[in-house]
Amino acid sequence: MNYGNLYFFSVGSMILSGLFVFVSMRKHLLLTLLSLEFLVLSLYFMFFIFLGFFGMSYYFLLVFLTFSVCEGAMGLGVLVTLIRSYGNDNISSLSVLSW
């Protein structure tokens, strides 16, 4: 059995499901951030498979994971600020001019 095709199929389904949740759940910021983190995890898995397939070192994964953690922390900071200001995380209650 060829595991390479199975890995790429699983990564592709992870990316498609993450994109589907990101596009369909645009009402709440928390769900949007969770779907973005799921997309980052699927990209991390894809990079892991790609680097392992070509026999390269995994140092890039450490840098990618560091930046994804920083991105998640900034997203949570924006979420906490939004909830303190408006009382909810509904994106529809925001105005573009207030940003």
The predicted structure's pLDDT at residue 97: 42
What is the residue range of 36's domain? Answer: 3-98
> How sure is the predictor about 95, in pLDDT bands with cuts at 50, 70 and 90?
low
Count of domains for the chain: 1
Residue with the bigger pLDDT between 92 and 63: it is 63
What CATH number should be reported for the domain holding residue 12? 1.10.287.3510
Could you tell me which residues come within 8 angstroms of residue 34 by beta carbon, excluding any fewer than 6 positions away?
21
**Mean pLDDT score, 55-64:** 91
Interval 60-83: pLDDT, tens: 999 999 999 999 999 999 889 888
Residue with the bigger pLDDT between 17 and 82: it is 17
As a whole number of angstroms, the distance between CA 54 and CA 26 comes to: 37
Predicted TM-score (pTM) of the model is 0.82
